[in-house]
């Protein structure tokens, strides 16, 4: 079995000389299919830079990154965009839904340019909404949904292409407690179904749902703990 994420000696430096900022200082990380990992760190720790690397949103200064077996360093911008679209389902703090478009159409968006016929796109989008418990809200606009429901639509959109990795950046940062519990419950269920989930967070409540917690400080991984007694 190959890892979904295989990072070796990953470094990222911004600038040069005395003003250089070493955001990552030789990170090694493996994430295996079906894992639920929380990556934690304070502001300036390097976790956001690591997120950008794992999401193929930026390229490392040195080191190697294999995403589901594909070497990221060997790809140009167009190839990186294709890899992101096929292999990663992104979930952001701000939801990033199209305001005047229904929940169903928002979930369909990643498939619009994939060549799938409309009926198949609709079928897959409805199946993704069912997985997050929002079939009855398929025709609602984002402003007709609660924050938690909007994030669940975003999760469905991330799921619809069958990615190897769900990558969430502070996914509960804009949610109240009840909505946070709701969204984290969705992540728990998806992971129980075998989905690989990596969450970037600074919140202990979020990390407590993960089965593994990786802590980053000063551009390095300082601890990597497999947890017991995980919230389910």
pLDDT in tens, 71-109: 988 788 889 888 898 899 999 999 999 999 999 999 999
Q: What is the pLDDT of residue 212?
A: 97
Helix, strand, coil proportions of the chain in percent (round to 5)? 40, 25, 35
- Give 46-55 pLDDT, tens digit per residue: 999 999 999 9
Q: Within the chain, which residues score under 50 in pLDDT?
A: none
Q: Is the pTM of this model over 0.95?
A: no
Q: Which domains does the chain have, with CATH numbers?
A: 34-59+76-226 (3.40.50.300)
Q: Given this model, what pLDDT does residue 134 score? A: 96
CB-CB contact of 173 with 96 (8 Å):
no
| Closest C-alpha to 84, from 45, 46, 110 | 110
> What is the torsion angle, in degrees rounded to the nearest 10, for the CA atoms of residue 33, residue 93, residue 150 and residue 162?
-20
DSSP 12-72: EEES-GGG-EEEEEEEEEEE-TT-EEEEE--TTSSHHHHHHHHTTSS--SEEEEEETTEEG
3-state secondary structure of 210: coil
pLDDT at 114: 77
């Amino acid at each position: 079995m190959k890892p979904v994420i295989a990072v070796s000696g990953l470094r990222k430096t911004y600038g040069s000389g005395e003003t250089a900022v070493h955001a990552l200082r030789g990170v090694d990380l493996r994430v295996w299919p079906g894992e639920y990992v929380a990556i934690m760190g304070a502001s300036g720790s390097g976790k956001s830079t690591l997120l950008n690397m794992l999401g193929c949103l930026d390229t490392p200064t040195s080191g190697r990154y294999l995403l589901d077996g594909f070497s990221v360093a060997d790809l140009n911008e167009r190839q990186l965009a294709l890899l992101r679209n096929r292999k990663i389902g992104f979930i952001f703090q701000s939801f990033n839904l199209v305001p005047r478009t229904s929940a169903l159409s928002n979930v369909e968006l990643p498939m619009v340019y994939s060549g799938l016929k409309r009926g198949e796109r609709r079928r897959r989008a409805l199946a993704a909404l069912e997985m997050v418990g929002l079939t009855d809200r398929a025709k609602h606009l984002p402003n007709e949904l609660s924050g938690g429901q909007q994030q669940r639509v975003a999760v469905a959109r991330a799921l619809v292409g069958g990615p190897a990795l769900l990558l969430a950046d502070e996914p509960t940062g804009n949610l109240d407690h009840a909505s946070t519990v709701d969204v984290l419950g969705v992540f728990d269920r998806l992971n129980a179904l075998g989905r690989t989930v990596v969450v970037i967070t600074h919140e202990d409540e979020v990390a407590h749902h993960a089965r593994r917690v990786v802590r980053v400080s000063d551009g390095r991984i300082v601890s990597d703990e497999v947890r017991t007694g995980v919230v389910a």
